[in-house]
Amino acid sequence: MSLIIAAALLAVPRATTHTHRERFDHAGSAVEATYRGTLRTDMRQVGAVSAPGRPAALRCRWHARVAVDRHARHAAGYVAARRIEAPALLGGTRPGWCAGQRAAIQAAVAAAGERMRAHLVEVAARDRRDLIADLERTRG
């Protein structure tokens, strides 16, 4: 592996994971659902280094996307699992090289922890109808 590729891989912030659990009754039995949201940050270098005395056009464009894995278990033994892709939860641009902006981007992602938890609750609420339909199909 070349040093350039290794440096680029080290510059990418790690994924952040949050969990939300719900319990509700369906068809006379309890259903326990776990929603695990993984926030992954993608960075892309845009612009170019400018000549001395000219404004810099080099910047790092980043987006944090959420993938939610749902795992639900009905008391009767039925299991319903699926991945729910969500659009970018947050993003922005930072001046300069992406490698130099890693800490600032990680701080922005960490500061969005409460927003991530609220997003998981929202995804779970929107998913309830699909979850019940999946359990009904599994039950036959």
Residue 126 phi/psi, 5° resolution?
-70, -30
The CA distances from residue 13 to 95, 123, 139, in Å, are: 17, 24, 41
Strand, helix or coil at 97? coil
The number of domains in the chain is 1
> Residue 52 corresponds to which tokens in the numbers above?
């001395």
Residues 36/16, Cβ–Cβ less than 8 Å: no
- Spell out the per-residue pLDDT of the chain, length 140, in tens: 333 333 333 344 456 788 999 999 988 889 999 999 988 889 999 998 888 887 778 999 999 888 999 999 998 888 899 999 877 678 999 999 999 999 999 899 888 888 888 888 999 999 999 999 988 887 76
Start-to-end CA span in the chain (Å): 51
> Residue 102 corresponds to which tokens in the numbers above?
């890693």
Q: Which domain holds residue 32?
A: 3-139
By C-alpha distance, which of 67, 69, 71 is closest to 32?
71
Residues 123/68, Cβ–Cβ less than 8 Å: yes
pTM for the model: 0.72
Sheet holding 16-26, edge to edge: 16-26, 29-46, 59-74, 79-95
